[in-house]
Amino acid sequence: MSRGATVLFDAPGPRARVRNNIMTLLAVVAVAAILYFIYLRFDEKGQWEGRIWEPFIRPETWTNYIVPGLLGTLEAAGLASVLALIFGGLFGLARLSDHAWIRLPAGAVVEVFRAIPLLLLIFFIFYLAPSVLGSGDYTLAALVTGLTLYNGSVLAEVVRAGVRAVPKGQSEAAYAIGLRKSGVMRLVLLPQAVTAMMPAIVSQLVVLLKDTALGYIIAYVDLLNMGFKIIPAVNFGSLIPAAIVIGIIYVGLNMALSALATWLERRSRRSRKSAAPPIEPPGAVGVPATGMGVSAVD
């Protein structure tokens, strides 16, 4: 096999490389043409005029609107991430139980909350809470609860797949030296599974961070709400600039989270030898490089 070949495809030959380079060049030209067309249309509408962008160089725009919205987004994402990880860990391990009375209800909970659209779940909690708990502001609670239930259910499948990705011989050896199931799980399977699960976990946390924008629908004070509702209302005509600025901030947050995940994964793999290959996030299309990976949903 040639040095550039992989288990998924053969290394391209000279003609294929030329063809790929031509297609890449055409794609770059097409994207540049589309961007230039968008630039011209925005220019015709006066969206590049200084008066429209001027609010974003004023400190009060950032201190009064963007920073509070960013803090609201980070608060919801932080709370939901911690709760989703706890939910996912508990229900993922419950689905691996030998007892049907634990395994079956846990599986039903996970499948139900994975199947419900997240926006519908947030709406349901937001409108149900006042009827059950009385009047009050439940925007943060509804958003965090919806994000926790949905993403926690996905993470439960990640946990289950990560544990199952550890070769069976690891647990058999642990049982052979007299460990009980709790000890095998805690001392042998989970330490290796965490390394295998890390890419999928962080991928889902990035999704969770972006899904906090759904709080806009229930008027939660987050980055999207401030950017698309408050700032354009205060500064007439600044909708497109606000969208661009808010979009850049979201991209920066997600890139920072992905970079942190990459660093954590490399660190964990250096400090711990794991026989489990990295698992794919639920719904991802692809085959692990080892050819031995376990899908997050069996």
Q: What is the pLDDT of residues 148-160, one digit of tens each?
A: 999 999 999 998 8
Q: Is the pLDDT at 289 greater than 70, yes or no?
A: no
**What pLDDT is recorded for position 279?**
60
Residues 37, 166 within the same domain = no
- In 10 A of CB 92, how many CB atoms? 24
Residues 216, 255 within the same domain = yes
Domain count, the chain: 2
Does a structural domain hold residue 220?
Answer: yes
Residues 17, 107 within the same domain = no
What letter does residue 11 receive in the DSSP assignment? P
Amino acid identity of residue 16, one-letter, is A
Angle at 222 between CA 220 and CA 228, to 5 degrees: 95
Does a structural domain hold residue 287?
Answer: no
Does a structural domain hold residue 7?
Answer: no
Residues 83, 222 within the same domain = yes
Does a structural domain hold residue 298?
Answer: no
**What pLDDT is recorded for position 293?**
40
Cα distances (angstroms) measured from residue 169 to each of 64, 97, 184, 196, 296: 58, 19, 12, 17, 20
pTM (2 d.p.): 0.74
The lowest-confidence range among 73-77, 117-121, 286-290 is 286-290
* pLDDT tier, 49 (very low <50, low <70, confident <90, very high otherwise): confident
Specify the CATH number for the domain of residue 249. 1.10.3720.10
Please report, rounded to a whole number, the percentage of residues in the chain having pLDDT higher than 70: 80
Measure the CA–CA gap between 198 and 159, rounded to whole angstroms: 10
Cα distances (angstroms) measured from residue 279 to each of 107, 167, 210, 254, 285: 20, 13, 22, 20, 11
Residues 30, 78 within the same domain = no
Q: Which tens digit of pLDDT belongs to each residue from 95-107?
A: 888 888 988 999 9
Residues 26, 82 within the same domain = no
Top pLDDT among 66 and 8 is at 66
Residues 163, 35 within the same domain = no
Does a structural domain hold residue 232?
Answer: yes
Measure the CA–CA gap between 44 and 271, rounded to whole angstroms: 57
* pLDDT tier, 64 (very low <50, low <70, confident <90, very high otherwise): confident
Does a structural domain hold residue 184?
Answer: yes
Cα distances (angstroms) measured from residue 190 to each of 22, 196, 265, 274: 47, 10, 15, 10
Does a structural domain hold residue 2?
Answer: no
Q: Which residues contact 190 (CB under 8 A, 6 or more apart)?
A: 163
Does a structural domain hold residue 297?
Answer: no
Residues 97, 228 within the same domain = yes
Residues 183, 257 within the same domain = yes
Residues 24, 118 within the same domain = no
Residues 39, 64 within the same domain = no
Residues 89, 231 within the same domain = yes
Q: At what angle do helices 190-211 and 139-165 cross, to 10 degrees?
A: 150
Cβ 81 vs Cβ 155: under 8 Å: no
Domain holding 232, by residue range, is: 59-271
